[in-house]
Amino acid sequence: MLNFIIGIVAIILCGTLIGYERQHGSKVIGIRTCILIILGSFLFTHISTIAGGDPARITAQIVSGVGFIGAGIIFKNGTKEIIHLTTAVLVWVLAALGSLIALSQWLEVVIITIVIYFVLKLKILK
């Protein structure tokens, strides 16, 4: 139960940090969406681990399912410009972060959250 509570706190912290960066930049997704994406993959992975199932199977299904969500976010604007691609990829990465949290990989969670934040924040990478 303690890992579950720590996981929920981690979800809120990571989702808020990343979501704030997106929301502050007036992007398509914000704090609530980031928290919910992480929470969804966390719950599926957590359920899989406590039910005695294979977390790898659930993780594979999360990757596929979130891929469909991401595909719905991407738009082709006119004939040349593709928009919301970074947002779609972010949804995919946030789902992976939720699985890491469910597996209590705390060092990886911190490192990946920092990497995500700085990749989104650094305008030089555009």
Give the pLDDT of the chain (126 residues) as one tens digit per residue.
899 999 999 999 999 999 999 998 888 899 999 999 999 999 999 998 888 877 788 888 898 888 888 878 877 777 778 888 888 999 999 999 999 999 999 999 999 999 999 999 887 666
What local confidence, expressed as pLDDT, does residue 60 receive? 86
Which pLDDT belongs to residue 126?
Answer: 62
Q: What are the structural domain ranges in the chain?
A: 2-125
Distance of alpha carbon 114 from the chain centroid? 13
Task: Give residue 119's pLDDT.
Answer: 92
**Residue spans of beta strands (DSSP E) within the chain:** 75-77, 81-83
Nearest to 94 by CA among 109, 104, 106: 109
Q: Which two tokens stand for residue 79?
A: 């004939």
- At residue 125, the pLDDT reads 64
Tokens representing 109? 């969670």
